[in-house]
A and B are shown apart, each in its own frame.
Chain A
Amino acid sequence: GAVVSQHPSRVICKSGTSVKIECRSLDFQATTMFWYRQFPKQSLMLMATSNEGSKATYEQGVEKDKFLINHASLTLSTLTVTSAHPEDSSFYICSARPSGPQTGTPYNEQFFGPGTRLTVL
């Protein structure tokens, strides 16, 4: 259980185009999803927290007009990279946190998707 999928797994686009990445929780509902960015051989950097039915919360330094997040349902969050440029090339990873408390822990564990490799030419 607790599977998170991302689509597409890999995308190559031209500079100036917009790219949409989907994150789905397949067997659970997730009020909260998170979007991370991972540069080669570096750690995951949290970009934003996506809350179902409300606006996303962006981390300092992340342009919200550049990285549009929509969390329209309890199983789907989307990240749209608008007017992509080569410097946006990266590995984008989402995670989902199950709604409601999990037995025995004060913190709902995040489950990670497989990531999306974005290459902007």
Chain B
Amino acid sequence: AQSVSQHNHHVILSEAASLELGCNYSYGGTVNLFWYVQYPGQHLQLLLKYFSGDPLVKGIKGFEAEFIKSKFSFNLRKPSVQWSDTAEYFCAVNPYTDKLIFGTGTRLQVFP
């Protein structure tokens, strides 16, 4: 079945540690890819998006993601996390339709 998978359900890090969150999708053909963040008590915000071109995408707050077409992956990275990055992170895929299909989410906790 077509889906979006986030393998890390809960990640706990200390400040300054590096972060990589996995995202894999199973849709064929052209897709648009997104990472959203949901801070505690707040609404979803777009971190970054990929449509075409350079597969390394830079987003807000120091986040970046790399699209690897052969692996159907769009992993999110940040070299040094901060306590304020504590949030829920969602990968989403738009398989060239109106719809956004979300992954199950990864809860990130960063301790000082």
Interface residues of A (CB under 8 A from B): 4, 32, 34, 41-46, 49, 93, 95, 97, 105-107, 109-110, 112-115
Contacts and interface: CB of A to CB of B under 8 A. Distances in A.
Q: Which of A4, A32, A44, A46 has the largest count of B CB atoms less than 10 A from its CB? A: A44
Nearest to B98: A49
A42 B105 contact: yes
Contact of B42 (A45, A105, A114): A114
Contact of A106 (B51, B102, B103, B105): B51
Contacts of B107: 41
Contact of B98 (A4, A32, A105, A113): A32
B43 A113 contact: yes
A28 B32 CA distance: 23
Contacts of B100: 34, 46, 95, 110
Given A105-B51, A107-B32, A46 B101 contact: yes
A43 B51 contact: no
Contacts of B98: 32, 34, 49, 97
B101 A114 contact: no
B46 interface: yes
Contacts of A106: 32, 51
Contacts of A107: 32, 51, 94
A49 B90 CA distance: 20
B43 A93 contact: yes
A110 B45 CA distance: 10
A44 B107 CA distance: 14
A97 to B, nearest CB: 8
A41 B32 CA distance: 25
25 contacts: A4-B43, A34-B98, A34-B100, A41-B107, A42-B104, A43-B90, A43-B102, A43-B103, A43-B104, A43-B105, A44-B90, A49-B99, A93-B43, A93-B44, A105-B51, A107-B51, A107-B94, A109-B46, A109-B49, A112-B36, A112-B45, A113-B43, A114-B42, A114-B43, A115-B43
- A-B pairs, top 3 by smallest CB distance, nearest first, are A112-B44, A114-B43, A43-B102
B94 to A, nearest CB: 6
